[in-house]
Structure 1
Amino acid sequence: MGPDLVLFRVARKELQLFFASPVAWMFLASFLAVCLFVFFWVEAFFARNIADVRPLFEWMPLLLIFLSAALTMRSWSEERRSGTLEHVLTLPVSLWQFVLGKFIACALVLMLALAGTLLLPLTVEGIASLDWGPVAAGYLATFLLGCSYLSVGLFVSSRTDNAIVSLIGSVALCGLLYLAGSELLLGFFGGSAAEFLRLMGSGARFESITRGVLDLRDLYYYFAITAVFLGLNIFALERGRWSERSNSHHRSWRFGVTLVVLNLLLAALWLHKLPGVRTDLTEGKLYSLSEPSETLLTQLEEPLLIRGYFSERSHPLLAPLVPQLRDLLREYAVTGAGKIRVEFVDPAEDAAAEKQANEEYGIQATPFQVADRYQSALVNAYFNVLIQYGNEKEVLGFSDFIEVKMAAGGDPEVLLRNPEFDITRAIRDVLYRYRSGGELFDQISKPVTLRAYVSDDSKLPQLLVDYRDAIRREAEALVPNSQNKFSIDFVEPEAKGGAEAARILEEWGFQPMITALGDENEFYFYLTLEDDHQVIQLPTGRFDSSDFSDALEAGLRRFASGFTRTIALALPGSSQPRGGMPPQGHSFGTLQQTISQDHSILMEDLTDGSVDASADLLIVMAPETLEAKALFAVDQYLMRGGTVIVATSPRSIETRGTALQLRRVDSGMEDWLAHQGIRVEDTVVLDDRQAAFPVPVLRRVGEYEFRDMQFVDYPYLLDIRDDGLNPDHPITQGLPNLTVGWASPLSVSPQENIESTTLLSSSDKAWLSAQSDVMPTVTDSGHSSFSGAGKPRQKAEVGVLLSGEFTSFFDEVPTPAASANDDLNEDREVETPSTALISKSPSSSRLIVVSSNDFASDQVLSGVIAASGTQYFGPLEFLMNAVDWSLQDSSLMNIRSRAHFNRTLPALPKNMQARIEYANYAGALIFLIVIYAVWLLQRRRREKQLGRVLL
């Protein structure tokens, strides 16, 4: 009889015995019941609000201990008790075939149990977008973990004839494997001992795989555990064939088994010392270096140092993250191909290193509170990464790396948020700062021309003649050191019958200037920087040559790569007359902090009528009552080829006591936006696809009214996902979902030569409202008072992008009397009257409008965070993607939104949540019924075959 036939017969016999007794059915029913209970009740799937199935796998290392022990407890002990083991031992067949046959049967039952849980990920996929990589890895990890526990159970069962003893022994031994790497035991150890125990524990390896990373070291660990205990199982049975007298055959078996076990364990230790051979299954490769990171590393010209400061004893929630971070840092070293040196330091063990970290790099230990069975104490631990390039450095701490999700029971779930983004951003920043201290033209790839459209001396005032000569000398001084990437071209627009004047008027709207109102002497004085891709205008300011060098350098930086960009941010109050106060509820501290992490931030005051010349992009948040000078500044910045991002709406949320109301807002930009082809309607969008928000709720009980703060599915908070995010545009294609509050619908009718792109839109189940009272009322049954029943449903645009050749709003209305030149000294009787404006923009100009004043305010962000239980930066990610795309810096766009907790569930009514939960219970029951029906059919078929043989 061939080995494969023996294996098949043993496995088939074991399966028949399993399903002929209550063992298999109890195993399957218990497994599915516990999984569903943990998923929906213990981990509170809907309250957790994350579109993943991590709750399904988190309890598997503990759950499988008991279930695997119950499945294997009778495998050999029953054979030993009934006396059939002696028959097996006397057969002329190798015992490994019987051991593997029983193991395969148990593994098939485990696979069948796992198949019964597949309805859970299918349910999540039906609700939201599910990353199937961690799901596949989770099932693989569960199967491998189960196989290792099954091998332990089979070994223990082979050592006793009592099934209860086998059950207890298996639970104890598997429990020790799990306990070795658990935080409960690691708290008593520190440093290398804790790290070694974590590597030996079955749970730590399991968590590594379930996050979506298949590491050869983790896979081999489970293979080694399974092989060791199956080998011990074979050896235990083989000893039953021996006589009591020891001989060379017995010694050979002992030596061989010992050698195999030691080799398996030593191979595991040897693999741990090698660089990880792994595959990242997550969507977007969350745990691997992405292409933007690899591209950035190719730009390194000097050695880069990455040093991790990690304490051996740290907070128990941070300790498991250290190996993950170390693996990622090692990938930077491998990808850097010799240009990156990675070091790991424990400052507690190296006083000199700790002193250097404290004094030279400003790295300080963070106090964490830890507790064990006997005391609670503070531990000063390091969890920092230093990035150093030349004399530039950046330090990242635990607050930059971790992301916390509060579970329903109040226990925090801590993961690395998006470490590649933070590390790559830090590398980019030190690289750019280092380059900025070098040659500007090293970073310019295409030749740039300073083209000055200037009239001849006879038409220019003497002030402008002097200014022209000064800037010509300054520009010519740059040419020799420009590596042939900078040239100067002075053009006289009136020459050749004014053909050039007609062209620049047609293409860019450059109109003739005059020295004073009523003066008939017209002239031109415009400065541009041009390459084969874009044209930008340099501001002439007060025609002061001392300002020209800064304006020229700022302009050239817009053609260079590898420099930190400057973002001009105009917030409420800064665009109003001095003394204006920010409107209630409008604070943007988180936005300011986010911008400053990636770019230089400039708080822009638009009331002076101009945007700072160093600004690479302008963001205007929640404007109110913009005066003509402020509007003129925005208009002319766009006309000069800049990008303007505006978040505005005629309505804005405010609190009055405990009530929520929408107040009317006069942004001052309505006519300007309408001129550019965008009209923001004076209504607000509500949507059935909504997010939860903490709001004061009016609760009625009989004749009484009560006001409570509750998390309410709030239709004014649009949950934009799937088709609501433009999948084809780089700004939105990487975002999983986005929450936009109190947004107004946009009507877009772009002018000729303007391209319109919808970025954000509601679902087709949205409706409009003009009511000011937006405070929800909850009925006795717990339902919100807001409903779109009977109202026309429509899809509403709430975020658009316009690009192309814009025309100036001030071509049709008077230019503000005060201009950028109104501060000239009186002896320089030069003014810039209303005709001295840019009336047409180059094609590189862009205008992005989001129709919500509260789009990225601190109040909305904190409310969504409180409702979801996790950090939420969707609006900020959208804005930063828009900034990077506009500035043609895509190095971080593809990895910015790759956080773990960013896949949230859409808002679902309570009755829908209940139906989904009950449907999973019903699905598990149907699964068991189907398995039972298949087993009955198979049994009847076997009985018929047996009947024919007997006849």
Structure 2
Amino acid sequence: MSRDIRSKNIWQLVVLLVAIVVVNMLAGSWFFRMDLTSEKRYSLSENTKDLLVDLEEAIFVKVYLEGDLNVGFSKLSKATYELMNEFRVYGGSNIEFRFIDPAEGTKKEKELVQKEMQELGLSPVPVYEQAEDGRNTTSYFYPYAVVYYNDMQLPLNLLENIKGFSGAENLNKSIESLEFKFTDAIRRVTMDEKPRVAFIEGHGELDDYDVMDITDHLSQYYQVDRGVIGNDPSILDPYKAIIIAKPQSKFSESDKYVIDQYMMNGGRVMWLVDAVNVTLDSLRKARETIGMMADLNIEDQLFKYGVRINPVLIQDIQSAMIPMSVSTGGQPRIVPAPWLYSPLLIPQPDHAISRNMNVVQGEFVSSIDTVNSQLHIKRTVLLRTSRYSKADQVPVFVSLAFVNEKPDQRTFTQSFMPVSVVQEGVFTSVFENRMAPGNISPQPVEIKTQSVPTKMIVVADGDLIRNKVRFKNTNPKILPLGYDELTKQNFGNKDFILNAIHYLCDDAGWMDLRARSYTLRLLDKSKIADQSFFWKMINVLLPLFLVLALGFVVSFYRKYKYMR
């Protein structure tokens, strides 16, 4: 080799080394990532990035999805690991995490892990599967994570369990909601000051016991107050949102004015209103009753805001059960019976509030119409009835004896009636072209007739937010909101109320993370069963064949080249 060629090669090597060093220096100072997936499943939202960058102290996450997992939970574990890595990219040293296998380690170590999870209320999830040889197997997994920050610890359930969805669909929904769950947990543990929300009183609304479960859960995010409105027009100003839960008596004009001006100034309201006066408790005493239209004096106000709650009672074939006493052979016993006036409402999948949620149990529900189409507002239905439902006009006769009658499906012709809507935009005041009530103090100089952009949610069922209360020796026992004692399942009432209040109070767009959607790409199970051996052989033999073929080609080429 000549000296010129040797010098040229040395210079090429030097240039290559310098280029590598320069590229590494640029990569260290100029950060970028590319997500080539169509759904951008590996991209964090800008809100999440800002949250992680602004962390001032370290957050430690323990994830218990590790070990001998099946295919579905392995995907969830992998997605969680990838998300944690993405979090660490933006959070730096303030994000630490560790994956733990609860079944790994010495007996003492496993007992410590089990004890820790029991103290946090985390129970193993049984998974029933069928092996290739037809045997039924049961495995237990821990789809949980715990977020630690200073002296706080917050457990997270990473697994969605939505009624009516397959296991694969629920796991896909779980992966979709990972970013929201972890960012929500980080926001909760790092929150300096909680926003304020309030339950309105003074019109026969649900009392402390009736909403205690949802109040406890809201208290993790907000300062929750209760109180009467009064005559001060600014009394609601400190609150991000207010909740009007099943009023039963008339609103005064001054109360309506305070709520109206609160909305005109950007306040958010959640209305949970019964349009018909009838309760299950009254039925249990009298066995039958007449449902009459409720006069709350807010019909004109809701109409002005673009909503009309119809004075009807909905019956739905898709309904919950109520306990009924049946006597057989002289021995009374309690049996579950379908109660058509307790519909299982279907959450709509196209909104952040109601997406990825179980059905919601209602009780004596009415329907909602949207009116005033000239308003500059966006409306979205959140809850609907099933395909087979109907509405009974008031006055309506209601009797517990209806449980003994077989419903005629042909009469249930009113499908998918709206029961809850969310409205966003600019609203018109109900006091437009009207005087302020005389007892308002101080009297306003001017009534605001157009709102700033704001939000409101209307639910045509006051009991949707109500938890059951059982008294034993005068001591109240509060049941979880949405928990059904007969079927031992949890309906989506609590999730719906929490999501609704989060959405009303959300100015930064955090709830949009719940609207993320990933396409579920499932393998054909019948082909897997019929052709699994063939594809296994392909995976084993094809690489060997390719290596042998490549070796033969290289050997033939060298022989041909050097023989010449």
TM range (shorter): 0.5 to 0.7
Q: Does 1:679 align with 2:288?
A: no
List runs of 5+ in structure 1 lacking aligned partners. 1-280, 352-361, 371-382, 407-413, 437-563, 822-831, 899-923, 929-951
Larger Rg: 1
Tell me if structure 2 keeps the 8 A contact 1:711–1:867: no
Distance 1:818 1:344 in 2: 62
Match of 2:197 among 567, 575, 583: 567
- In the TM superposition, residue 304 of structure 1 has moved relative to its aligned partner by 2.7
Question: Which residue number in structure 1 is paired with residue 96 of structure 2?
Answer: 341
In 2 relative to 1, CA 598–305 (structure 1 residues): closer, same or farther, beyond 3 Å? same
Tell me if structure 1 keeps the 8 A contact 2:205–2:245: no
Question: Which residue number in structure 2 is paired with residue 793 of structure 1?
Answer: 414
Question: Which residue number in structure 1 is paired with residue 463 of structure 2?
Answer: 854
Match of 2:336 among 707, 710, 714: 710
Question: Which residue number in structure 2 is paired with residue 358 of structure 1?
Answer: none
Q: Percent identity?
A: 16
Match of 2:454 among 832, 836, 845: 845
Tell me if structure 1 keeps the 8 A contact 2:214–2:494: no
In 2 relative to 1, CA 712–650 (structure 1 residues): closer, same or farther, beyond 3 Å? same
Q: Does 1:424 align with 2:176?
A: no
Match of 2:53 among 299, 324, 327: 299
Question: Which residue number in structure 1 is paired with residue 252 of structure 2?
Answer: 627
Tell me if structure 2 keeps the 8 A contact 1:606–1:633: yes
Question: Which residue number in structure 1 is paired with residue 508 of structure 2?
Answer: 889
- In the TM superposition, residue 744 of structure 1 has moved relative to its aligned partner by 1.1
Q: Counterparts in 2 of 1:499-518, with a 5 A limit?
A: none
Q: Counterparts in 2 of 1:484-633, with a 5 A limit?
A: 564-570=194-200, 574-576=201-203, 582=206, 587-610=210-233, 611-625=235-249, 626-633=251-258
Question: Which residue number in structure 2 is paired with residue 47 of structure 1?
Answer: none
Distance 1:328 1:706 in 2: 52
Tell me if structure 2 keeps the 8 A contact 1:699–1:777: no
- In the TM superposition, residue 870 of structure 1 has moved relative to its aligned partner by 3.4
Look up the equivalent residue of 2:365 and give its one-letter code. A
Q: Counterparts in 2 of 1:35-46, with a 5 A limit?
A: none
Question: Which residue number in structure 2 is paired with residue 332 of structure 1?
Answer: 84
Tell me if structure 2 keeps the 8 A contact 1:623–1:668: no
Distance 1:588 1:766 in 2: 28
- In the TM superposition, residue 852 of structure 1 has moved relative to its aligned partner by 0.9
In 2 relative to 1, CA 324–765 (structure 1 residues): closer, same or farther, beyond 3 Å? closer
- In the TM superposition, residue 883 of structure 1 has moved relative to its aligned partner by 3.6
Q: Does 1:815 align with 2:441?
A: no
The size of the alignment, in residue pairs, is 429
For structure 1, which segment, 663-672 or 644-653, has the greater mean C-alpha deviation from structure 2 after superposition?
Answer: 663-672
Distance 1:778 1:709 in 2: 11
Distance 2:147 2:416 in 1: 48
Q: Does 1:385 align with 2:139?
A: no
Q: Does 1:648 align with 2:292?
A: no
Look up the equivalent residue of 1:627 and give its one-letter code. S
Structure number with greater CO (CA < 8 Å, separation at least 6) is 2
Tell me if structure 2 keeps the 8 A contact 1:765–1:794: yes
Look up the equivalent residue of 1:807 and give its one-letter code. T
Distance 2:415 2:75 in 1: 50
Q: Counterparts in 2 of 1:464-503, with a 5 A limit?
A: none
Question: Which residue number in structure 2 is paired with residue 637 of structure 1?
Answer: 262
Structure richer in helix, relative to its length: 1
Distance 2:410 2:327 in 1: 22
In 2 relative to 1, CA 322–682 (structure 1 residues): closer, same or farther, beyond 3 Å? same
1:880 aligned counterpart, secondary structure: helix
Q: Counterparts in 2 of 1:432-443, with a 5 A limit?
A: 432-433=191-192
Tell me if structure 1 keeps the 8 A contact 2:205–2:247: no
Tell me if structure 1 keeps the 8 A contact 2:231–2:254: yes
Tell me if structure 2 keeps the 8 A contact 1:384–1:397: yes
In 2 relative to 1, CA 811–882 (structure 1 residues): closer, same or farther, beyond 3 Å? same
In 2 relative to 1, CA 600–326 (structure 1 residues): closer, same or farther, beyond 3 Å? farther
Question: Which residue number in structure 2 is paired with residue 719 of structure 1?
Answer: 345
Tell me if structure 2 keeps the 8 A contact 1:861–1:872: no
- In the TM superposition, residue 650 of structure 1 has moved relative to its aligned partner by 1.8
Match of 2:321 among 689, 694, 709: 694
Distance 2:158 2:416 in 1: 38
- In the TM superposition, residue 764 of structure 1 has moved relative to its aligned partner by 5.3
Give per-residue Cα distances to partners, 1:469-526, cap 9 Å, x unaligned: xxxxxxxxxxxxxxxxxxxxxxxxxxxxxxxxxxxxxxxxxxxxxxxxxxxxxxxxxx
Give per-residue Cα distances to partners, 1:90-112, cap 9 Å, x unaligned: xxxxxxxxxxxxxxxxxxxxxxx
In 2 relative to 1, CA 305–675 (structure 1 residues): closer, same or farther, beyond 3 Å? closer
In 2 relative to 1, CA 710–421 (structure 1 residues): closer, same or farther, beyond 3 Å? same
In 2 relative to 1, CA 654–874 (structure 1 residues): closer, same or farther, beyond 3 Å? closer
Q: Counterparts in 2 of 1:2-401, with a 5 A limit?
A: 291=45, 295=49, 298-308=52-62, 328=80, 331-337=83-89, 338-339=92-93, 340-343=95-98, 365=119, 385-388=146-149, 394-397=152-155
Tell me if structure 1 keeps the 8 A contact 2:384–2:418: yes
Look up the equivalent residue of 2:242 and give its one-letter code. L
Distance 1:880 1:668 in 2: 28
Look up the equivalent residue of 1:335 and give its one-letter code. F
Q: Counterparts in 2 of 1:740-751, with a 5 A limit?
A: 740-750=362-372
Give per-residue Cα distances to partners, 1:602-639, cap 9 Å, x unaligned: 33432354443221222222123233332222111111
Distance 1:774 1:883 in 2: 38
Look up the equivalent residue of 2:363 and give its one-letter code. G
- In the TM superposition, residue 714 of structure 1 has moved relative to its aligned partner by 3.1
Match of 2:492 among 866, 873, 884: 873
Tell me if structure 1 keeps the 8 A contact 2:322–2:337: yes
Give per-residue Cα distances to partners, 1:766-821, cap 9 Å, x unaligned: 31114242535444xxxx444464476365332233444433323466533332x3
In 2 relative to 1, CA 856–889 (structure 1 residues): closer, same or farther, beyond 3 Å? farther
Considering only aligned residues, what root-mean-square deviation do their CA atoms show, in Å?
A: 5.4
List runs of 5+ in structure 2 lacking aligned partners. 1-36, 109-115, 125-143, 164-170, 469-478, 518-525, 531-564
User: TM-score if structure 1 supplies the norm length?
Assistant: 0.37
Look up the equivalent residue of 1:845 and give its one-letter code. T
1:818 aligned counterpart, secondary structure: coil
Q: Counterparts in 2 of 1:751-830, with a 5 A limit?
A: 752-755=374-377, 757-759=379-381, 760-763=383-386, 765-769=388-392, 770=394, 771-775=396-400, 777-779=402-404, 784-787=405-408, 789-790=410-411, 793=414, 795-811=416-432, 815-819=436-440, 821=441
Question: Which residue number in structure 1 is paired with residue 168 of structure 2?
Answer: none
Question: Which residue number in structure 1 is paired with residue 299 of structure 2?
Answer: 670
Structure richer in strand, relative to its length: 2
